[in-house]
Amino acid sequence: MRVTNIGLIRERKIPQDSRVALTPDQCKWIQARRPGVQFIVQPSATRCYKDEEYERAGITLSEDLTGCTILLGIKEVPVADLLDGKTYLFFSHTKKQQPHNRQLLRAILQKNITLIDYECLEHEDGQRIIGFGFFAGIVGAHNGLMAYGNRTGLFTLDRVYKQRSFKELIHTYFGLRLPNLKIAVTGSGRVAQGLSEVMNLVGVHEVEPEEYLGRRFNYPVYTQLKSAQLYARKDNGGYERLDFHHHPERYQNKFPLYTSQTDILLNGVYWYPGVPRLFEPEAIRDEQFIIETIADVSDDEMGSVPINQRTQTIEDPVYGIDRNTLAITAPYLKGSVDIMAVGNLPNELPRDASRYFGEQLIKYVLDDLLGEGSATLKRATIVEKGVLTPFYSYLKEYAGSA
């Protein structure tokens, strides 16, 4: 019987992340049903599931993962901690040629590593298979509302991370009464699902985009703007999904129609260079631009929200942008727009998010990973044994590889 050792690495990126790819119960379940699979977990004082929980589940703890074939993490692995010749699965944040991870990709190539990026695992229709997007949306929507409440003094919400679970977070919404807000939710993926979930939990009514644009309401409302509502061809005003993804330069964004009707923007669109931004930075100088709070859950700096200039931390999630100078300010100042932008939002509900992530990993990825692979897994492999795969050959210059 072939033995496959899978290691769960300790998260070392700063700020540290407490999420994990598989929970103790999930590791135990896999070991019981997949003969030959054994897990080894690197001890961690900051992981949301304690070392003792893995031990009670019968999982081995060890600092030494050199005997593992496959290594599972969440955030980027520091270059110094990469083990030669291993197969890694984590969010590398390299597919968009992010400058801060260029050295990481270069080291992966030099160390003959195979890198499978969770972000690149997609169904045939392009929908992401695995991720933390739903809980990013949950926390992002809460934090967006919290920031608006802090700014206006109209209501108060406590921090998500103070709750032990999503269930406890829901209990904090009992009795909450929101003013007559208009909230725009952008996107159609898991992030947008999480954003909409919170809207429904706090009693914000959903309305169609046309109705949203047409009038004010005497109760809080939101509208969800998917790609067909956000983008239109410059030549004929139409929208076709595949055409948009292959030729985003042919399209313009229709969101400026909503900036004079929206109090809070909850942004969950997937953005990459070439996709039209929601608005131009100078638009916030216009007195008709009434948005006061933007929760940029996608968190692409200078991306779909072009005034998002930096990523904040869970402890300090909100900053301001001066409407006239476009400079960064403290939050909640008159004459500014508040931005909530945090790169690891699901870490405010780490146990729920980890359990959700592990369920998807088991359902859609595990058997392919342990078996002969699949087209899906191949498409998500950025580097195979130290060589960029054909799908990601465009990263050659970025990585500085020969």
**Residues involved in catalysis:** 75, 93
Q: Which residues contact 168 (CB under 8 A, 6 or more apart)?
A: none
Phi, psi at 109, each rounded to 5°? -65, -45
Residue 285 to residues 126, 151, 291, 339: CA-CA distances in angstroms? 37, 19, 11, 15
CB atoms within 10 A of CB 108: 25
Known binding-site residues for NAD(+) equal 214-215, 243, 270, 297
- Are 314 and 348 in contact by the 8 Å Cβ rule? The answer is yes
Burial per residue of 210-221, b for 16 or more beta-carbon CB atoms within 10 angstroms, e otherwise: eebeeeeeeebb
Contact 116, 381 (CB under 8 A): yes
DSSP state of 395: G
Helix (H, G, I), strand (E, B) or coil at 100: helix
Binding site: what residues are annotated?
Answer: 214-215, 243, 270, 297
Both structure tokens of 310 = 């930096």
